[in-house]
Structure 1
Amino acid sequence: MGCEEFPEEYGLGEAKSGVPLGGLGTGYITLGSDGAFQEIVTMGNPRSPILRPERSFLAIFTSSAECKVAKVLENPAPLGLPAVKYLKYSGLFPFANIRYIDDELPVDLRLTAFSPFVPGDSKHSGLPVALFKLVARSKVSEPLTVAVLFSWEGSSLGSKVFEEEGVKGVTLEVEQGNYTIASTIEKGIEVEVSPPWTKSDVKLFWDDFAEDGKFAEFKGSLGEDIARALVLRFTITPFEEKDTVFALSWFFPDLRDSEGKFIGRMYANWFNDSKEVAVYALRKFRNLYEQTSALHRGVKAFKLPEWLEDALLNSLYSLAKNTLWIKDGKFAHSESFTGCPITETIVCRFNGSLPILLFFPELELKVIRHFAFLQREDGAIPFAFGKPEFFDKPYYETQKSLDSSEFVLMVYRDYLFTGDEKFLEDLYPHVKKAIRYAQSLDTDGDYLVNEVSMQYYDQWRFYGTSAYVAGIWLTALRAAEEMAKIIGDEKFSAECRAWFDKGRENYERKLWNGTYYRLYNEPETGKISEVCLCNQLMGQLYAYLLGLGDMFPREHIVSTLQAIFRLNVRATKFGAVSGVRPDGTPEPGPHSETVIFGEVMNYAATCLYVGLRDEGLEAARKAYENIIYYQKSPWNIHFSYDRETGKPVWGSNYYSNMCVWHLLPAWLRVDIGKLREYIRNTFH
């Protein structure tokens, strides 16, 4: 499974989303399964993408002794132009692959498009560029002239052709920035830039290209937004194959937060305009292609089921769609720019941030340090940096029952993976304050955090002590105990152990029903729920990830996972229903009766850790197969899906869904420390 070996192909227009082309925090461009550039999100416009710009497209011209053919490589084609008949589309992030199928063309055409994603190299994974390789193979027994055209839409602000360092292209100025299309100058390939053209010039433009794959010096209409095209022209002998390489780069440094305050782009520290980006990326094309392909080879080396390889890689699309990397170096991931725009909700990163730690640990530590910076004086950890796009507007009450515990667990996780002692020394006082704050949320003296706020299921109210929140709290106490030992804080370490022992005893007494853990129990009011929650052992999953062992009796853990399989997994064809009653019927409610994609993945990972491999893999496979086969949307995974139809219910492009990466250490049966060695040996 290299970058050109794809497990699933979609027909023309079948996929409901396309692979996003873009780097960390750069914005992105979506190449869709109809061959079109469907969304342009490069200008700080995630909720108002430019849709299908008509003069931004790829096209092909061929000429033989018999005939000439010219077609746009998408269907339907814009502006009434002739379209390629059919195509097959596939993708494994960050690669998109298209096979164009047209019996009128005397060549077979294959396009590979990607943006660099280099594990361990955040700069080269943060380039505002999409790179393309189009392979043309002759199907006929006579020489052919072939011209590949790449047109891009600009504005009335002008454009400039350039040639430098073996690269030729054109930069198009638009409001607040610019785009560049360019190619390397190779022997045997003519590189030409068209004159500016407007919508009024479309017939003149196309007829000129379709005549000989070249452009005469026509004059475009005045006073209109222009486009320009890059043309790569070459000849191929019978049955010969030839590659062409080109780039699209962008530069929009004036990024603002939601109040209009300048925050900028990280990439503006490295480049001055899109031309510099294109030249840089094209000169490094072979290395960037090889290093990005290594991501796929690395995943393949783990010998996972093919669907799981696919799920791991494609889940990373969120890093292109949902990230911010601003000029002062701060990094953040939105819960979902399109579905729930909040900057770095701690509950989503608790689920979905593992890949950031594995591949870009320096960015992960920046995020955790910023959470510590925003910690309230009383120890409360913020729920998020701000809403929608802020780094300095934290708020604290939304899920305060969870926030501090999740922060503590991620600090310990990140320390174990990086071995960064300075990080632990700096963060330890914040960990201690977070534990102190969480202790204050024990309102009934049972040493367990109570349901004083909403939690992960923010439309599903729990009461008293819940398996989900209290389980995460118990694991946080164990993590804090271990960190205190490392620091040498014996008193606090002993206190955490005492709280853990007493809390676990009460957890078992209040919640264990003989088969699994109750959803919640509040003896003071008599509120109790026997609903079986798919994600009730989330704290236990983190305990395994952190090498802390069993939080609860092993027989209870296994019994719970088996009960979830019998009740929750069997209640749907699409993974597992979130909340199910003892009689097997789903609990009514917007969260409880749905399939929550990330929850299913966490359940599956916990199963793998305790040896219930068949149960875990079945649930996870069904959830992912719904995405790729039925919803046909692996590059827009929603938060939740209907248990009966499999259709999306809520939350497009969700950050937390990268929790599928919890399945990797669970498959290997290793903790985060041992996973570090696998990652370093495999990807770096």
Structure 2
Amino acid sequence: MNLRSRAFCLVFFLGCLTAFAQDGIPKSAWRRPLGLPLENAGVKRVAGDIDDGYWQGAPVGGFGAGTFSRSYRGDFARWHIKAGVHKYDVSYANEFAMFQQVEGEATGVAKVLLNDHPKQGELASWSWDYPVGAGEYAALYPKSWYDYRWEKFPAHVTLEQYSPVIPDNYRESSYPTAVYRWHAENPTDKTVTVSVLLSWTNMSGWFRTFTHDFKGAPNQGNYDTYRNEAGMKGIVFDRSRAGVAPNEWDGQFAIAAMETPGVEVTYQTSFQAAGDGKAVWSHFARDGRLPNDDTSWVSDGEKLAGAIAVRFTLKPGEKKVVPMVIAWDLPVVQFGEGRQWNRKYTDFYGTDGKNAWKIAREGLLHAQEWSDAIDAWQKPTITDESKPLWYRGMLFNELYALTDGGTFWGRPVGSDKKLPASFALLECFDYAYYGTLDVRFYASLPLLKFWPEIDKRVLREFAETVEKEWSEKGLWVWKTAETGSPVLHKRKKVGAVPHDLGVPEGDPFYVVNEPGWQDTNDWKDLNSKFVLMVYRDYVLTGRTDKAFLQETWPAVKAAIQYLRQFDHGRGVPENSGYPDQTYDSWVVRGVSAYSGGLWLGALRAGEETARVLGDWTAQAEYQALFAMAQKTYVATLWNGEYFLYDTDASNKGVIQADQLAGQWYAHMTGLGDLVPRAMQRSVLKKIYAFNVNQFGDGNLGAVNGMNADGTVVDNVEAREVWAGTTLGYAALLKSLGIEEESYHVVHGLFHVIYESKGYWFRTPEAWDVTGNFRASMYMRPAGLWGMEMMPAVR
């Protein structure tokens, strides 16, 4: 952990109590009764999209380490371990259970901490179906809590869950480990014995397929090993391997706890996960202990599991905190065309895939330190009472996608460890593109704020591609469908900023700009967004990293020059009559509000970058071009209240929610007014009156396109609310001092995600007036942090 992270810990405790409810959980955490179903939940609108439903929870796992999550009913259900692959499936042997017994009573009570049960008699001897609503789930990512309150459990026990995702930390934030700290308190007048069981399936080899479930997962050759080292006890789950170097699916899981004075750890090394489970439950339900059986064998196809239990007693009024850890070591990522990469955490733990025990030990030894560091990071925000309570929680919970969004962080096997590791988020699992640039314009803001070196690395990676060409052809799907015959396009042209850094099925970071729905070479927003993000990273990291600007300057100039080919003499690149920007099903023609506004921002960013670097020729050129472009933009599109969608007569009157995206970035980075301030305020007022308040009940966010008569534009994307668009608009409202409206707009998103439609920890790209969604687990909603990064410009 670096010095800044440690400094957080030193200041944490001052004034801390005001941030927490009586149960010790922050007041700003989002809460839901354990296992409570949701009525009228949202559903997918597009056939083939992922829709696992609302049984979700905050994920664990570091950047690029692979992640999984336990839902708020208590099952480990969602798995993002294999790079770019989403699995949603439950192995019921992956569970927590609790035993409690009051001193002097003949028997105790044991219960699996799941508001559900296996469907086919699996582990039939176990006591399932923890009562719905007997406690509460809370989340403030990267932490979440399970607050168990059942009348048959006399001691009050809360589970705190997290991984060490910590700002400005580029080591522990990469770790494949999850910490589970059990906070137990005895409010009674009698001594209570408490035991918590953690059982785990041997999942070695399970993350080999591209399917969304574990059907056909291999078990042959799996085996479990009991370990006892310096007071640490647990089980390592491994498999037989063909050679020394691990395959992508080779590696280990481990579960572990520390045996300390007053805390006893017992174990069952192996049992059949699909059996009746008596080998575990008959012992645990009797007295909270396991039989300390270290029997181990190699699977001949049967599904294996192991378990540990931590047992302790609490005197009346006594409190105790007991940590447990799940760790995993699956060091290799292999993409579709065969190239293998080592995950970032292997810089610290090696690449042989046999270090889950070591990783688990570090988690146990640093559990308190990591917890304190997370609390210290969050404290200034969650205690800021000038902001709504729901908003403070949403800020952190929408960060989940930074680790859980198919995130990759690593370097090619055999490469020099001195070279920087590549990093990228997936746009989403339905649109599995790495680093999608038009979307990361919104999504990358918290990455820049809290892990700036990673964000700069991503932009450097994009910069390296700008002046390169990939000449192979791909099918232009949208144009092919429009014309009825195949239309091909070059993968990547010189000067075009790529849409993405590749796909998991291909050779990402080496082969970029995957051909697909649109020919993105001639999109009118990508190059401008790249220029703006480069300048943004320079400004918002203190205006000190001149080397970063210098390194990316050739790509910035090339990006601006490339767009000028679409300028027909008026200073503004014109859209080409197809969906040539991030709204990739919404046709644009001529000068347009969205792309044109981004162009104005890019010219100002180019001008200021040139000024910093002393490139006076470029500075003068961009300054003159901006003056010309601004004049054209206003004269062509301003209608007295807002800027027209484009110059196509059929779009006359369309009010686009994202029309001032360029101005949003200009205010965020101090570039000033791209259009007069009075025009900005007029636009914001119009969008609020129409796109927000005349869409649905006014509490859904800002719909992308409204007509001047109050009807929604008849286009599939215009009819949607995009979380990222709404957040950019809200941030601009806030920067101009229109705060009440800005929070109302964002609350529309909160209402849909966390209250009415059940999109927690799978926030979609878009929903319609019914609240039904498209493209869950999307990265653009992380742009919520734009609200926190906007200076007041009023």
Taking structure 1 as the reference length, what is the TM-score of the superposition?
0.93
* 232 and 226 in structure 1: CA distance in 2 versus 1, 3 angstrom threshold: same
What's the offset of the Cα at 1:12? 2.9
Determine which of 420, 425, 441 is the counterpart of 2:550. 425
Determine which of 505, 514, 517 is the counterpart of 2:643. 517
Indicate the residue corresponding to 2:607 in structure 1: 481
Q: State whether residues 269 and 327 of structure 1, in contact with CA within 8 Å, keep that contact through their aligned partners in structure 2.
A: no
Determine which of 744, 754, 779 is the counterpart of 1:618. 744
Q: State whether residues 334 and 341 of structure 1, in contact with CA within 8 Å, keep that contact through their aligned partners in structure 2.
A: no
Output aligned runs, 1:571-582, within 5 Å: 571-572=694-695, 573=698, 574-582=700-708
Letter in structure 2 aligned against 1:153: T
What's the offset of the Cα at 1:344? 0.5
What's the offset of the Cα at 1:91? 0.5
In the alignment, the residues of structure 1 paired with residue 158 and residue 400 of structure 2 have an alpha-carbon distance, to the nearest angstrom, of 22
Letter in structure 2 aligned against 1:506: T
Indicate the residue corresponding to 2:210 in structure 1: none
In proportion to residue count, which structure has more helix?
A: 1
In the alignment, the residues of structure 2 paired with residue 362 and residue 170 of structure 1 have an alpha-carbon distance, to the nearest angstrom, of 36
* 331 and 571 in structure 1: CA distance in 2 versus 1, 3 angstrom threshold: farther
Q: State whether residues 79 and 86 of structure 2, in contact with CA within 8 Å, keep that contact through their aligned partners in structure 1.
A: no
Letter in structure 2 aligned against 1:115: S
Letter in structure 2 aligned against 1:102: W
What's the offset of the Cα at 1:670? 7.1
* 351 and 556 in structure 1: CA distance in 2 versus 1, 3 angstrom threshold: same
Indicate the residue corresponding to 1:391 in structure 2: 509
Indicate the residue corresponding to 1:168 in structure 2: 233
What's the offset of the Cα at 1:374? 1.2
1:145-165 superposed Cα distances (whole Å, 9 cap, x missing partner) = 221111111155212222335
Which secondary structure state, in structure 1, belongs to the residue aligned with residue 622 of structure 2? Answer: helix
Q: State whether residues 402 and 425 of structure 2, in contact with CA within 8 Å, keep that contact through their aligned partners in structure 1.
A: no
In the alignment, the residues of structure 1 paired with residue 322 and residue 117 of structure 2 have an alpha-carbon distance, to the nearest angstrom, of 22
Indicate the residue corresponding to 1:681 in structure 2: none
Indicate the residue corresponding to 1:195 in structure 2: 269
Q: Do structure 1's residue 282 and structure 2's residue 347 form an aligned pair?
A: no
Letter in structure 1 aligned against 2:784: V
Q: State whether residues 16 and 631 of structure 1, in contact with CA within 8 Å, keep that contact through their aligned partners in structure 2.
A: no
Indicate the residue corresponding to 2:672 in structure 1: 549
Output aligned runs, 1:204-283, within 5 Å: 204-216=279-291, 223=300, 224-272=302-350, 273-283=355-365
Which secondary structure state, in structure 1, belongs to the residue aligned with residue 174 of structure 2? Answer: coil
* 150 and 376 in structure 1: CA distance in 2 versus 1, 3 angstrom threshold: same
In the alignment, the residues of structure 2 paired with residue 88 and residue 528 of structure 1 have an alpha-carbon distance, to the nearest angstrom, of 49
1:112-165 superposed Cα distances (whole Å, 9 cap, x missing partner) = 101112111121111111101112223443222221111111155212222335
Q: Do structure 1's residue 320 and structure 2's residue 320 form an aligned pair?
A: no
* 340 and 45 in structure 1: CA distance in 2 versus 1, 3 angstrom threshold: closer
Q: State whether residues 135 and 146 of structure 2, in contact with CA within 8 Å, keep that contact through their aligned partners in structure 1.
A: yes
In the alignment, the residues of structure 2 paired with residue 173 and residue 120 of structure 1 have an alpha-carbon distance, to the nearest angstrom, of 33
Indicate the residue corresponding to 1:125 in structure 2: 173
Output aligned runs, 1:287-302, within 5 Å: 287-300=369-382, 302=384
Q: State whether residues 11 and 88 of structure 1, in contact with CA within 8 Å, keep that contact through their aligned partners in structure 2.
A: yes
In the alignment, the residues of structure 2 paired with residue 490 and residue 220 of structure 1 have an alpha-carbon distance, to the nearest angstrom, of 72
In the alignment, the residues of structure 1 paired with residue 451 and residue 379 of structure 2 have an alpha-carbon distance, to the nearest angstrom, of 18
In the alignment, the residues of structure 2 paired with residue 313 and residue 634 of structure 1 have an alpha-carbon distance, to the nearest angstrom, of 12
Q: Do structure 1's residue 308 and structure 2's residue 410 form an aligned pair?
A: no
What's the offset of the Cα at 1:515? 0.6
Q: How many residues matched? A: 663
Indicate the residue corresponding to 2:475 in structure 1: none
What's the offset of the Cα at 1:220? 7.8
Q: Do structure 1's residue 558 and structure 2's residue 699 form an aligned pair?
A: no
Letter in structure 2 aligned against 1:186: T
* 16 and 144 in structure 1: CA distance in 2 versus 1, 3 angstrom threshold: closer
Indicate the residue corresponding to 2:186 in structure 1: 138
Which secondary structure state, in structure 2, belongs to the residue aligned with residue 244 of structure 1? Answer: strand
* 665 and 41 in structure 1: CA distance in 2 versus 1, 3 angstrom threshold: closer
* 237 and 515 in structure 1: CA distance in 2 versus 1, 3 angstrom threshold: same
Q: State whether residues 177 and 360 of structure 2, in contact with CA within 8 Å, keep that contact through their aligned partners in structure 1.
A: yes
Indicate the residue corresponding to 2:443 in structure 1: 352
Which secondary structure state, in structure 2, belongs to the residue aligned with residue 295 of structure 1? Answer: helix
What's the offset of the Cα at 1:97? 0.9
Q: State whether residues 428 and 775 of structure 2, in contact with CA within 8 Å, keep that contact through their aligned partners in structure 1.
A: no
Moved more, 611-620 or 318-327: 611-620
- Cα RMSD of the aligned pairs, angstroms, is 2.0
Q: State whether residues 267 and 327 of structure 1, in contact with CA within 8 Å, keep that contact through their aligned partners in structure 2.
A: no
* 139 and 82 in structure 1: CA distance in 2 versus 1, 3 angstrom threshold: farther
Moved more, 460-469 or 611-620: 611-620
In the alignment, the residues of structure 1 paired with residue 383 and residue 34 of structure 2 have an alpha-carbon distance, to the nearest angstrom, of 32
Letter in structure 1 aligned against 2:265: V
Indicate the residue corresponding to 1:675 in structure 2: none
In the alignment, the residues of structure 1 paired with residue 62 and residue 448 of structure 2 have an alpha-carbon distance, to the nearest angstrom, of 17
Which secondary structure state, in structure 1, belongs to the residue aligned with residue 222 of structure 2? Answer: coil
What's the offset of the Cα at 1:6? 4.1
Indicate the residue corresponding to 1:374 in structure 2: 465
Letter in structure 1 aligned against 2:311: R
Output aligned runs, 1:81-100, within 5 Å: 81-83=126-128, 84-85=130-131, 86-100=134-148
Letter in structure 2 aligned against 1:22: G
Q: Do structure 1's residue 665 and structure 2's residue 704 form an aligned pair?
A: no
Moved more, 269-278 or 360-369: 269-278
Indicate the residue corresponding to 1:674 in structure 2: none
In the alignment, the residues of structure 1 paired with residue 367 and residue 733 of structure 2 have an alpha-carbon distance, to the nearest angstrom, of 42
Moved more, 199-208 or 117-126: 199-208
Which secondary structure state, in structure 1, belongs to the residue aligned with residue 693 of structure 2? Answer: helix
What's the offset of the Cα at 1:299? 1.8
Letter in structure 1 aligned against 2:31: E
* 379 and 45 in structure 1: CA distance in 2 versus 1, 3 angstrom threshold: closer
Q: State whether residues 181 and 323 of structure 2, in contact with CA within 8 Å, keep that contact through their aligned partners in structure 1.
A: yes
In the alignment, the residues of structure 2 paired with residue 130 and residue 438 of structure 1 have an alpha-carbon distance, to the nearest angstrom, of 46
* 253 and 670 in structure 1: CA distance in 2 versus 1, 3 angstrom threshold: farther
1:278-312 superposed Cα distances (whole Å, 9 cap, x missing partner) = 11121111111111112211323554221221221
Moved more, 262-271 or 58-67: 58-67
Output aligned runs, 1:34-45, within 5 Å: 34-44=73-83
Determine which of 572, 575, 583 is the counterpart of 1:451. 575
What's the offset of the Cα at 1:669? 1.9
1:442-463 superposed Cα distances (whole Å, 9 cap, x missing partner) = 2x21111111352111111111
In the alignment, the residues of structure 2 paired with residue 143 and residue 120 of structure 1 have an alpha-carbon distance, to the nearest angstrom, of 44
1:446-486 superposed Cα distances (whole Å, 9 cap, x missing partner) = 11111135211111111111100000001100000011111
Indicate the residue corresponding to 2:713 in structure 1: 587
Letter in structure 1 aligned against 2:423: A
In the alignment, the residues of structure 2 paired with residue 246 and residue 485 of structure 1 have an alpha-carbon distance, to the nearest angstrom, of 54
Taking structure 2 as the reference length, what is the TM-score of the superposition?
0.80
What's the offset of the Cα at 1:349? 1.0
Indicate the residue corresponding to 1:181 in structure 2: 255
Indicate the residue corresponding to 2:32 in structure 1: 10
What's the offset of the Cα at 1:46? 2.6
Indicate the residue corresponding to 1:677 in structure 2: none
What's the offset of the Cα at 1:552? 0.4
In the alignment, the residues of structure 2 paired with residue 90 and residue 561 of structure 1 have an alpha-carbon distance, to the nearest angstrom, of 35
What's the offset of the Cα at 1:185? 2.7
Indicate the residue corresponding to 2:59 in structure 1: 20
Which secondary structure state, in structure 2, belongs to the residue aligned with residue 590 of structure 1? Answer: coil
Which secondary structure state, in structure 1, belongs to the residue aligned with residue 454 of structure 2? Answer: helix
In the alignment, the residues of structure 2 paired with residue 159 and residue 459 of structure 1 have an alpha-carbon distance, to the nearest angstrom, of 51
Q: State whether residues 427 and 436 of structure 2, in contact with CA within 8 Å, keep that contact through their aligned partners in structure 1.
A: no
Letter in structure 2 aligned against 1:476: A
* 217 and 661 in structure 1: CA distance in 2 versus 1, 3 angstrom threshold: closer
